[in-house]
Structure formats: C-alpha cells, structure tokens
Amino acid sequence: MKYLIIFGPPGAGKGTQSKLIAKRYNFKHISTGQLLRQEIEKDTETGKIIRSVIENGEFVDDSLVMDIVKNEVCMDKGNFEGFILDGFPRNIDQAIAFDEMMASYGKKIDAVLSLEIEESIIIKRIQHRANIEGRLDDADFDTVKKRIVTYHEVTEPLITYYKSQNKYFPVNGDMAIEVNFRDICKIIDKL
Ligand code: ADP
C-alpha cells in the first residue's frame, strides 16, 4: 500500500495529475474540494454553509474537512492499493491531525508530491478553468487572488513540515500534463 499527498497552489494541476496517478496505480483519489462540492450539490444545511465559505475563497472548517477525510480513508470500497490525497492537508493543524489519525491506524504517509509552478501560470490556468468548469471560486479575480495569498500564508509552511519528515518530492508543474505525469511516476516507482 502507498499513501500519497499531492500538494501545490490552487490551479497547479493537482486534480488532473491525481486522476492519472489513481488510474495507473489503482489508488483511491480523495479530493477534499470535490467532496465538498458534492456536499454543496446535496443542498443540505452544511452544504449551504460550505458554499458560502468556498465562494468567498476561504477554508472550510478543519473539523468538518477532517471528518470527510477520515470517512474516505476508512471507507475501503474496492481493492485499492493506496490513496492519493488532493487538496488536503491545507494548514499545519490539518497536517498534524492527519498524521495522528494515520498513526492510530498504524499507517503513515509515504510521500508528498509537490507541483511547483509560477504564479502567472496558475492565474492563467484558473481563468481558463473558470470558463470550462464554472466553479464558484474560480470566477471572481479577487477570490482567486485571495486563495493564492492564503496558500502562501497558510499552506506553504507545510513544505517545511514535510521536508523535515523527508517526505517532500518537488516536481516541475510548469510542464505539459504528460511530462508532469512521467516525472511523478518516476518518483512513485522508487517509493
Ligand atoms: P484548488 O486546489 O484549486 O484550491 P480545491 O478543489 O482543492 O481547489 O478546493 C476548492 C475549495 O474547497 C478551497 O478553496 C477551499 O475553500 C475548500 N477546501 C478544499 N480542501 C480544503 C481543506 N483541506 N481545508 C479547508 N478547505 C478546503
């Protein structure tokens, strides 16, 4: 079993690469953003709260996200050979809580695959995605900017956290999808 995290700023291509990785290695793809958007679609009370938080470019409450992740990690439908976690953890509290949760199951994360990419490129990609997927948080430029600022302030410190655990594997995210994927596979194959 391999337990991986894909890391990077909004628009880095985490979702795209995760889908390819999940298919090639028979991993479960756990995307917190996608799971939260599913909750919004159900139009529950929680879904309504999540909607306004995401629309504002803010983070959903840690305990809610943690519950979602825990549920997905435990619910082992299908014979997966591990998981790829996409969009989580996003702050140090989530990272610590997740390490503790994995430890309680006698498991640990094997690697954090980090898509490193220039800011001008991610803004272009998000603008492009806004036209295709129509996501609530991609449409407004100020919201996109806010998400990027939050990434630098709150999420980026996780790089130091995972480097200190020797689990940090950077990948050049500026490349074409297939080049990016090939670089990622090289890392996974060596784990
Ligand atoms: P992106 O990587 O482009 O930001 P995601 O689909 O991963 O897209 O996330 C979309 C939104 O969902 C985030 O901006 C945030 O509001 C919410 N979200 C996703 N994952 C988390 C998380 N781990 N903690 C808090 N909020 C989250």
CB 184 within 8 A of CB 128: no
Alpha carbon distance 143, 56 (integer Å): 6
Q: Is the pLDDT of residue 27 over 90?
A: yes
CATH T-level assignment (fold) for domain 2-189 = Rossmann fold (3.40.50)
Per-residue pLDDT tens over the stretch 86-99: 999 999 999 999 99
Q: What is the mean pLDDT of the chain?
A: 96
Alpha carbon distance 19, 30 (integer Å): 10
Residue of 46, 51, 56, 60 best suited for mutating to test ligand 1, as the one with most atoms within 8 Å of CB: 60
- What is this structure's pTM? 0.95
DSSP 153: I
Q: What angle do CA 136, 122, 117 make, to 5 degrees?
A: 140
Q: Is the pLDDT of residue 75 over 80?
A: no
Residue of 36, 126, 142, 154 best suited for mutating to test ligand 1, as the one with most atoms within 8 Å of CB: 36
Per-residue pLDDT tens over the stretch 96-120: 999 999 999 999 999 999 999 999 9
* Least confident among 71-75, 106-110, 127-131, 182-186: 71-75
Q: What does the pLDDT read at residue 37?
A: 95
- Secondary structure string (H, E, C) spanning the chain: CEEEEEECCCCCCHHHHHHHHHHHHCCEEEEHHHHHHHHHHHCCHHHHHHHHHHHCCCCCCHHHHHHHHHHHHHCCCCCCCEEEEECCCCCHHHHHHHHHHHHHCCCCCCEEEEEECCHHHHHHHHHHHHHHHCCCCCCCHHHHHHHHHHHHHHHCCHHHHHHHCCCEEEEECCCCHHHHHHHHHHHHHHC
Q: Is the pLDDT of residue 166 over 80?
A: yes
DSSP 60: P
Residue 150 Cβ contacting ligand 1 at under 6 Å: no
Structure tokens at 150: 């939050």
Q: How confident is the model at residue 162 (pLDDT cuts 50, 70, 90)?
A: very high
Q: Is the pLDDT of residue 77 over 80?
A: no
Q: How far is the CA of 144 from the centre of ligand 1 (A)?
A: 12
Q: How far is the CA of 54 from the centre of ligand 1 (A)?
A: 7
Average pLDDT of span 52-61: 96
Percent of the residues in the chain that have a pLDDT greater than 90, as a whole number: 95
